[in-house]
């Protein structure tokens, strides 16, 4: 760990097209695929990623990957070297799960450091199927990565649409 801070960058686009060391997947506990970012990563990255996820389920993660934790696999045919799978919390109006969303970013960066990844691309975790309001998700994401000690040099948020991009831009500025 160094005393340097990573550069935060924002891109509007598709996370599967990023040339970075590691892309973070907004997965679910099964690690066996789904829609959104997860579907796109497995589709474009090919069957090697799912094969490694199945091995994880057969070994360390028999009950699945708990919410807020992260684990790495190959990135298959993606331009990245690794996919870091993390499981965001489902948004709940009556239950503050922001600590779990923050944990996704923190744990993903911890895994990135273990791998020696210099550049990491994150999607807006939990803001799709899991229903987290975009502005609040952007706040948690940016605050957490700024507060996390890491040797990662660049953290790139990859936002799928203009609304998401603007929400993150308002926090990074």
Cβ 27 to ligand AR6 shortest distance, Å: 6
Cβ 25 to ligand AR6 shortest distance, Å: 8
Q: Is 158 in the site for ligand AR6 (CB under 6 A)?
A: yes
Closest CB to ligand AR6 among residues 64, 151: 64
Q: Is 24 in the site for ligand AR6 (CB under 6 A)?
A: no
Q: Which of 162, 128, 135, 131 is nearest to 12 (CA)?
A: 162
Q: Is 34 in the site for ligand AR6 (CB under 6 A)?
A: yes
Helix (H) or strand (E) holding 85: strand 82-87
Cβ 4 to ligand AR6 shortest distance, Å: 27
Of the candidate spans 2-10, 61-69, 76-84, 158-166, the one that interacts with ligand AR6 by CB under 6 A turns out to be 158-166
Positions annotated as catalytic residues are: 38
Among positions 122, 128, 152, 171, the unique one binding ligand AR6 when judged by CB under 6 A:
128
DSSP 91: P
DSSP 15: G
Q: How many helices (H) and strands (E) does the chain have?
A: 5, 6
* Interaxial angle between packed helices 134-147 and 162-172, expressed in degrees from 0 to 180 and rounded to the nearest 10: 40
8 within 8 A of 157, measured Cβ to Cβ: yes
Alpha-carbon torsion 117, 153, 7, 109, what sign?
positive
Closest CB to ligand AR6 among residues 85, 109: 85
Of the candidate spans 4-12, 68-76, 92-100, 118-126, the one that interacts with ligand AR6 by CB under 6 A turns out to be 118-126
Q: Which of 77, 83, 92 is nearest to 65 (CA)?
A: 83
Q: Nearest 5°: phi and psi at 158?
A: -110, 110
Among positions 53, 78, 80, 164, the unique one binding ligand AR6 when judged by CB under 6 A:
164
* Sites of contact with ligand AR6 (CB under 6 A): 14-16, 26-28, 34-38, 40, 88, 123-130, 158, 160, 164
């Amino acid at each position: 760990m160094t005393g340097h801070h990573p550069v935060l960058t924002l891109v509007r686009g598709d996370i599967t097209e990023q040339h970075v060391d590691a892309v973070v997947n907004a997965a679910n506990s099964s690690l066996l695929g789904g829609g959104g970012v997860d579907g796109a990563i497995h589709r474009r990255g090919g069957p090697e990623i799912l094969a490694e996820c199945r091995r994880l389920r057969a070994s360390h993660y028999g009950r699945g990957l708990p919410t807020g934790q992260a684990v790495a696999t190959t990135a298959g045919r993606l331009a990245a070297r690794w996919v870091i799978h993390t499981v965001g919390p489902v948004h709940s109006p009556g239950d503050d799960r922001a600590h779990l969303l923050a944990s996704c970013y923190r744990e993903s960066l911890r895994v990135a450091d273990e791998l020696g990844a210099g550049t990491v691309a994150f999607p807006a975790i939990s803001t799709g199927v899991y229903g987290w309001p975009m502005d609040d998700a952007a706040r948690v994401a940016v605050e957490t990565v700024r507060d996390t000690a890491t040797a990662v040099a660049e953290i790139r948020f990859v936002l799928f649409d203009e609304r998401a991009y603007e929400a993150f831009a308002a926090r990074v500025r």
